[in-house]
Structure 1
Amino acid sequence: MQKVTSADGTTIAYERQGSGPRLILVAGALCDRGALRPLADELAKDFDVVTYDRRGRGDSGDSTPYAVQREVDDIGALLTALGGTAAIYGHSSGAALAAVAAGAGLPFTQVVLHEPPYGPEDVDTEDEGAQVIELLAADRRREAIELFLMLAGMPKEAALETAAAPGLTDLAPTLAYDFAVMDHASPGGRVPFELLGRITQSTLVVAGTASPPFMVDAAHRIVKELPAASLSELADQDHVVPPEILAPVLRAHLLE
């Protein structure tokens, strides 16, 4: 494990493995860097791969008040530590964060957005998100996780089982960060068309055909907005794709 200091003095922990073109992996909600380690192991055969703990998670520090720009600064600090440029892959709300960072002008060579969970234009999700935040404020962490997972499309029984996983409640407070990321450029977590239009790098958008329909629909909509984008639909895959299936898709795009 290595550490870098972000612009506000917060320590960000990261791991680096492999050799080749530099690639940063950004995890989504309720995940620390360990969640993407299996994917990193697969990609390290061809890339200099970095997985990191987003602020408030794992071995990274935190500061208050939270701001999405602080997370963008964290990625900027990683880029500096890596030598100035890298490709970036983000999963779920981590993809939304990667989009914010790319739209802010960070010097990525390429961008991969894997199912950023932007909501439909005709559905207001702000009240639902507020319910999760209220549960967190009351320190009802497990209930907040359960509700969040169901809002993301997970069946209730699976959400209850997942929320009971050891250590997951430690990450629950950072759900508020992910809601802030989703709302950053488009209130209600809808597709941030203006932000996406500022991403000039070659971008791959990934979606599994078995994922919740709103995520698949979002993937199709954002490809239309990105100046230089292509779509890869993974047959019969849902929101979490096995590394042995996902890595070849990323490898083919990033090394083309």
Structure 2
Amino acid sequence: MQTVTSADGTTIAYDRVGEGTAGTVILIGGAFSYRAFPTMVELAQTLADDYALTVLNYDRRGRGDSTDSPGVYDAANEVADIAALAEAAGGKVALFGWSSGAVLALLAARSVPGVTEVVAFEPPFVVDTKGHVPPKDLDAKLHPMIAAGDRGKTVRYYMTKAMGMPSLMVAAMRVTPFWKTLTATSNSTAHDWAVMKPYMRGKKLDPADWQGVEVPVLVLAGDRTAPLLIKGSKAAAQVLPNAEFAELTGVSHNPKISILAPAVGEFLTRTG
């Protein structure tokens, strides 16, 4: 484990995987994800082994071995975390983001110096009102739950109200070993919501918000994922100035790395 200090003094922990010759990529997880999450570990190792990439796999603030900024939830702080990691990596990096991490990667690409490419896997933009739209006062209810230390209630609330998961599905998770992992990262959901709040209102994406993302972007979605995620991913590719969209066969929001990694690795290492 290595660490960097972000602009506001928050410590960000990360693992450096590989010392490849094809460049560096920072992996940015989504809600409840963390650097030791098996999917992130497998993706990091595969990109290092098969594509000669140096991979920085980090804990977003409030998770794992990174510290937090309790009560202060601003997407700009997470962008600053990525900037600190990019500087530690030598100043030239690609970004891979999963779910809310994909949106965070796109936000970072607008302002972090040295970002070369972005791969955005299933950014959860909510671009119409035909599916689940989170309540407008979500943060007003979420923040007090976190402050009160009610981690189980926080997980249930965020999964059902922000992510739109069925309550019965969330209830079933409570009897699985995975529930402990969810509660351990529950406080970080306020940071996820700070990233996602402007873009889950059921309105079309505004191209003006994304004109600053000038680097090449690959937006990915699986054909077995929720229709809302496919719709949001396609909408992102349409408004980004230099983006392409690809659908991955046999992939859901919990991706198979054997299918996801080649799409990511080939995009990040292609020339011309």
- TM-score computed with the length of structure 1 as normaliser: 0.91
Are the aligned partners of 1:100 and 1:195 in contact in 2 as well (CA < 8 Å)?
no
CA distance in 1, matches of 2:202, 2:194: 9
Say yes or no: does 1:149 pair with 2:159: yes
Deviation at 1:138, TM superposition (A): 4.8
- Matched with 1:37 is 41
Deviation at 1:140, TM superposition (A): 3.4
Aligned partner (choices 201, 204, 223) of residue 237 of structure 2:
223
Deviations 1:52-92 (CA, angstroms, capped at 9, x unpaired): 01111110112252321111111111011100011000000
- Matched with 2:127 is 120
> In the TM superposition, what are the counterparts of 1:11-50 in structure 2 within 5 Å?
11-18=11-18, 19-20=20-21, 21-35=23-37, 36-45=40-49, 46=51, 47-50=53-56
SS in 2 for 1:12: strand
The 1:15–1:67 alpha-carbon spacing in structure 2 relative to 1, beyond 3 Å, is same
Mean alpha-carbon deviation: is it higher for 42-51 or for 137-146?
137-146
CA distance in 2, matches of 1:133, 1:213: 29
CA distance in 2, matches of 1:142, 1:222: 32
In structure 1, stretches of 5+ residues that fail to align are none
The 1:150–1:126 alpha-carbon spacing in structure 2 relative to 1, beyond 3 Å, is closer
How many residues are aligned here?
255
In structure 2, stretches of 5+ residues that fail to align are none
Query: What letter is aligned with 2:46?
Result: E
Are the aligned partners of 1:145 and 1:163 in contact in 2 as well (CA < 8 Å)?
no
- Matched with 1:188 is 201
Deviations 1:94-139 (CA, angstroms, capped at 9, x unpaired): 1111111112243211101111111123365233734544544554
SS in 1 for 2:193: helix
SS in 1 for 2:189: helix
Are the aligned partners of 1:102 and 1:199 in contact in 2 as well (CA < 8 Å)?
yes
CA distance in 2, matches of 1:26, 1:189: 24
- Matched with 1:5 is 5
CA distance in 2, matches of 1:145, 1:210: 24
SS in 2 for 1:69: helix
- TM-score computed with the length of structure 2 as normaliser: 0.86
Task: Give the % identical residues.
Answer: 36
CA distance in 2, matches of 1:251, 1:91: 15
- Matched with 2:61 is 55
Are the aligned partners of 1:119 and 1:125 in contact in 2 as well (CA < 8 Å)?
no
SS in 1 for 2:201: helix
SS in 2 for 1:127: coil
The 1:133–1:141 alpha-carbon spacing in structure 2 relative to 1, beyond 3 Å, is same
> In the TM superposition, what are the counterparts of 1:165-204 in structure 2 within 5 Å?
165-183=179-197, 185-186=198-199, 188=201, 191=205, 193-204=207-218
Are the aligned partners of 1:115 and 1:207 in contact in 2 as well (CA < 8 Å)?
yes
CA distance in 1, matches of 2:174, 2:187: 13
Are the aligned partners of 2:35 and 2:57 in contact in 1 as well (CA < 8 Å)?
yes
CA distance in 2, matches of 1:128, 1:207: 29
CA RMSD of aligned residues (A): 2.1
Mean alpha-carbon deviation: is it higher for 192-201 or for 155-164?
155-164
